[in-house]
Amino acid sequence: MSAPARVRPPGARTIDELLAEARARIGRLTPREAATRVARGALLVDIRPAAQRAYEGEVPGALVVERNVLEWRFDPASDARLPEATGYDVEVVVLCSEGYTSSLAADALRSLGLSRATDVVGGFRAWAAAGLPSR
């Protein structure tokens, strides 16, 4: 068995670069801004795995769609889409634990054409620390 390659191939980017690129394409929301958008009809989508939600807590009323199926559930052209995936103009606010995975996920939704997809700065932890509803 050969040793793992440690030299980055041409064109490869680091996760920090991918994250910065994704965040440059989405208008991120503070927890309070996200709560206001949700009150006005945006969908708050919690992409954390079940074990993480059980440990950290949940946001009442958030739609739980784990990260591994997010694109299939929100692509308006997918046979596996959720009823909430009503079209390309649906406003989706993605929530993860600390606001890293959610940025990548929101950017993926934008790549599908959901131009109003965004995420919460600081994720669930910031949401709870802001005193917003959680259990």
The separation between the first and the last C-alpha atoms of the chain, rounded to the nearest angstrom, is: 49
pLDDT band for 63, please (50, 70, 90 cuts): very high
This prediction's pTM? 0.93
Q: What is the mean pLDDT of the chain?
A: 96
Q: Is the pLDDT confidence value at 73 over 80?
A: yes
Beta-bridge partners for 92 = 43
34 has pLDDT over 90:
yes
Mean local confidence (pLDDT), 31-37:
98
DSSP 9-48: PTT---HHHHHHHHHHHS--B-HHHHHHHHHTTPEEEE--
Flag whether pLDDT at 76 surpasses 90.
yes
At residue 47, the pLDDT reads: 98
Q: Is the pLDDT of residue 90 over 90?
A: yes
Give the DSSP H/E element, type plus range, for residue 95.
Answer: strand 92-95
**pLDDT confidence bin for 126, thresholds 50/70/90:** very high
Question: Distance between CA atoms of 122 and 99, rounded to whole angstroms?
Answer: 5
CA-to-CA separations, 69 to 3, 22, 98, 107, 120, in angstroms, rounded: 33, 19, 20, 15, 19
Calculate mean pLDDT across residues 57-64: 98
Supply the DSSP string of 55-86, one letter for each residue: HH---TTPEE--GGGHHHHH-TT-TT--TT--
Instruction: Go through the domains of the chain in sequence order and give each one's CATH number.
Output: 28-129 (3.40.250.10)
Segment 46-58 shows an average pLDDT of 97
More confident residue, 3 or 89: 89
For the chain, percent of residues with pLDDT exceeding 90: 95
